[in-house]
Amino acid sequence: MSRPSPLSATPLLLLAGCSTDAAPSFSLAGAYFPDWMMCAMFGVASAVGLRVIFVVTKIDSILRFRLFTYSALGVIVALSIWLIWFGP
Amino acid sequence: MKRVHLSSGKPVGIGIAVLCIAAATLLGMHVAHEDNAHPSSDSGVIDAEFVHIATTVGGRLVELPVHVNQHVHKGDLLYRLDPEPYELTVRQAEANLALARAEVENQKRLVAVKTANSIVAQDQTTRAQTNRDLAARTVERLSPLANHAYIPWQQYDQARVALHDAEVSLKQANQQSAAAQVAIGDLKSSLAAEAANQAALDHARYELRQTVVVAPTDGYVTSLQVLPGEILAPSQVLFTLIADDAWFAIANIREVNLSVIRPGDCATVYSMIDRNASIRGHVESIGWGVLSADTAGIARALPLVPREMDWVHVAQRFPVRVRLDHADPALLRLGATATVEIRHGAACR
């Protein structure tokens, strides 16, 4: 059951590239993407990652309203990243 | 099967869900507040002032020591037009001025001659007056003698004719004197002609100076595509000089966030030429007006009001002008994309 998840590692790799002294706008293939879009991606990825971790560690079985819970966790992660990396 | 068994009737799960949703909501409100208090824009542009380099006179371009994208300093020679036509005009104007000055001298001599003539006419008036007085006295003396026939009547008659003759001469001398006085005139017309020619010469010299164009400010030569030999019309723009003494970032900020922005606020600007280099700046001003599609219309006509039923209105944005304090010149190119963070960012900590 403890299979490695490719999604859980992705946010960490992307976070390593973030720096507080750089512009909150990312260049990708000649286009600029805003910081909040990156944070939203991290949020979605972390929600999926947490779901996988909780299923593996059996925590998932005690949760109720899982859709709302995991969505809220994803939002918390995304907003926290924004506050830490890009916030004032 | 096991998951269903454990999750059934567990109030802990409900508690965790409520906790997570409440935390996400509170955090969301906090972030929204922070975001409104620290406006930013990722669609700004790097901006600078520029001068369209042209000159008020036309002619053939004979010297062009600058080339495109070169940096120049204030006062450097930018280009030179063929000065020959303007030198010829200056020479012509100088000749005209010399002519006018000679005319003034001529007029002075003429006035002197006419003044002398007037004096002569005045003297002749005096002489005519003396002659007339003598003739009058002669008639007065001869009158009683003629009445008593001591002298021939012919002699008395001749004296009376001589008196009449002298009176006519006096009248003519007076008229001649008055005419000579009027004929003296003055130097006004020739002096005015001299002043007009002086002004024409000054203008010709000004135009000659305009054939040499120097840099009005430090900056970069851009969009220069011609070589010497090109014929330029008066006021034709040859290239654009981007002034590099002051650089700006223009950030369009939504109107709902404008109330927290004050001129002088610190701003962090990133030129996307190097997104890792933060540039410190400060808010210089906020645009006072933008053209709105709802109010656009032909002036003096009736307002153009489209029929619509919009429930959601997108916030208007206004350009906020941020003056950059110091920056690496390599990051500054007019029109480059800029990310602007007002009242926060790496440069404002």
Q: What is the pLDDT of residues B308-343, one digit of tens each?
A: 888 998 999 999 999 999 888 999 999 999 999 998
CA A23 to CA A18: how far, in whole Å? 10
* More reliable by pLDDT, A15 or B236: B236
Decide if B5 is inside a domain: no
Q: Are residues B277 and B311 in the same domain?
A: yes
CA of B292 to nearest chain A CA: how many angstroms apart?
A: 26
Q: Are residues B98 and B70 in the same domain?
A: no
CA A80 to CA B4: how far, in whole Å? 32
Q: What is the pLDDT of residues B171-215, one digit of tens each?
A: 999 999 999 999 988 899 999 999 999 999 999 999 999 999 999
CA dihedral (A10, A13, A19, A25) in degrees, to 10, reads: -40
Give the least confident one: B38-42, B135-139, B235-239, B290-294.
B290-294
Decide if B15 is inside a domain: no
Residue A16 has pLDDT above 50, yes or no: no
Confidence of residue B9 (pLDDT cuts 50, 70, 90): low
Bridge pairing between strands B77-81 and B231-232: unpaired
Contact B42 A62 (CB under 8 A): no
CA dihedral (A63, A67, A72, A77) in degrees, to 10, reads: 90
pLDDT of residue A15: 44
Residue A10 has pLDDT above 60, yes or no: no
Q: Which residue has the tokens 């299979």?
A: A3
Indicate the residue among B168, B183, B206 that finishes a domain.
B206
CA B50 to CA B334: how far, in whole Å? 10
Decide if B323 is inside a domain: yes
Q: What is the mean pLDDT of residues B151-162?
A: 91
Angle (deg, nearest 10), helices A35-56 and A66-81? 140
Q: Which residue has the tokens 């900590």?
A: B349
Decide if B212 is inside a domain: no
Q: Report the residue of chain B nearest A73, measured CA to CA.
A: B20
Residue A5 has pLDDT above 80, yes or no: no
Contact B346 A61 (CB under 8 A): no
- Number of structural domains, chain B? 2
Q: Report the residue of chain A nearest B23, measured CA to CA.
A: A76
Q: Are residues B67 and B140 in the same domain?
A: no
Percent of chain B scored above 90 by pLDDT? Answer: 76
pLDDT of residue A19: 44
CA of A2 to nearest chain B CA: how many angstroms apart?
A: 17
How many other β-carbons are positioned within 10 Å of the β-carbon of residue A42? 24
Decide if B30 is inside a domain: no
Contact A76 B40 (CB under 8 A): no
CATH number reported for the structural domain that contains residue B145 in this entry? 1.10.287.620
Q: Are residues B44 and B148 in the same domain?
A: no
CA dihedral (B116, B119, B121, B124) in degrees, to 10, reads: -130
Contact B276 A73 (CB under 8 A): no
- Bridge partners of B77, per DSSP, are B214
CA of B265 to nearest chain A CA: how many angstroms apart?
A: 14
Average pLDDT score, chain B: 91
Contact A72 B7 (CB under 8 A): no
Q: What is the pLDDT of residues B203-255, one digit of tens each?
A: 999 999 999 999 999 999 999 999 999 999 999 999 999 999 899 999 999 99
Q: Is B84 helix (H, G, I), strand (E, B) or coil?
A: helix
Q: How far is CA A9 from CA A18, A26, A43, A83, in A?
A: 15, 20, 13, 21
Indicate the residue among B206, B232, B256 that finishes a domain.
B206
- Bridge partners of B341, per DSSP, are B40, B268
Q: Whose CA is closest to B251, among B222, B279, B292?
A: B279
Could you tell me the residue range of the domain that residue B251 belongs to?
39-82+217-348
Structure tokens at B143: 């009158």
Write down the domain spans for chain A. 32-88
Q: Are residues B130 and B95 in the same domain?
A: yes
CA of B222 to nearest chain A CA: how many angstroms apart?
A: 25
Contact B272 A80 (CB under 8 A): no
Confidence of residue B303 (pLDDT cuts 50, 70, 90): confident
Confidence of residue A12 (pLDDT cuts 50, 70, 90): very low
CATH number reported for the structural domain that contains residue B336 in this entry? 2.40.30.170
Residue B149 has pLDDT above 90, yes or no: no
Indicate the helix (H) or strand (E) that contains B268.
Answer: strand B266-271
Decide if B3 is inside a domain: no
Inter-residue contact B224 to B66 (CB < 8 Å): yes
Q: Are residues B243 and B273 in the same domain?
A: yes
DSSP alpha helix (H) spans, chain B: 2-7, 11-37, 84-147, 153-183, 188-209
Q: Are residues B196 and B227 in the same domain?
A: no
Q: What is the mean pLDDT of residues B121-138?
A: 94
pLDDT of residue B185: 87
Cβ contacts of B249 on chain A, cutoff 8 Å: none
How many other β-carbons are positioned within 10 Å of the β-carbon of residue B177? 21
Decide if B105 is inside a domain: yes
pLDDT of residue B347: 85
CB-based contact, A31 to chain B, within 8 Å: no
CA A18 to CA A24: how far, in whole Å? 9
Indicate the residue among B206, B240, B261 that finishes a domain.
B206
Instruction: Enter the pTM of the model.
Output: 0.74
CA B126 to CA B135: how far, in whole Å? 14
Contact B31 A62 (CB under 8 A): no
Q: Are residues B322 and B247 in the same domain?
A: yes
Contact B31 A79 (CB under 8 A): yes
Residue from the list A27, A69, A82 with its beta carbon closest to the beta carbon of B16: A69
Decide if B94 is inside a domain: yes
CA A45 to CA A77: how far, in whole Å? 10
pLDDT of residue A85: 84
Q: Whose CA is closest to B242, among B25, B69, B56, B60?
A: B69
